[in-house]
Structure 1
């Protein structure tokens, strides 16, 4: 099985030894996407803005791979504070329609760059 690196300037570049996404075996796996604006390198205010930007970054990566949000089969949401779940979920739900992807959401002690949210996805590439 071969693998292909997916990269775009429309999402923040990797801040370590990893790829924005990898395609292989009919799937695309994204690295966790923070809510960083790729043009400014800055976070938005609050968990809702960071969630929106994180998912826009995911969307840009998928577009670079020739895929779309509707092909996502699994998401993992990492939250700095589980008390932000409802606010995150309000924005998250605007990016998806039925059938919704499977999802895990977990609270973590700390995220890179002290982000409030990080989201990674698995896509079934048709």
Structure 2
């Protein structure tokens, strides 16, 4: 099945990582509740490759930051738009973010919506 994803990279202060993890455990559940198929966030570990621009440069991370790479999977772009609208309107989101003390700054986040180009394993036989 051809899904649609929102992808993002962002820096979080090392000191706030525990608070951030608690926040995203809660908000990830909200995305799933509203219809997302998957919600994943990963902690940067090996972030340089000679000859390429790093994610840290992209989001202006400092030495005190860790990098988060994540994505949310949706059935389609139309479903993404509807689900994200529900998540944005969910009062729990504002309450969670306000209480989280993570120092999250959306201006440092790189974000985009993506349609499939290549997928392995290729499940074309199972597309609906």
Smaller-chain TM-score bracket: under 0.3
Question: Greater Rg, structure 1 or structure 2?
Answer: 2
TM-score (ref. length: structure 1): 0.27
The structure with the greater share of residues assigned to strand is 1
TM-score (ref. length: structure 2): 0.27
- The structure with higher relative contact order (CA 8 Å, sep 6+) is 2
The structure with the greater share of residues assigned to helix is 2
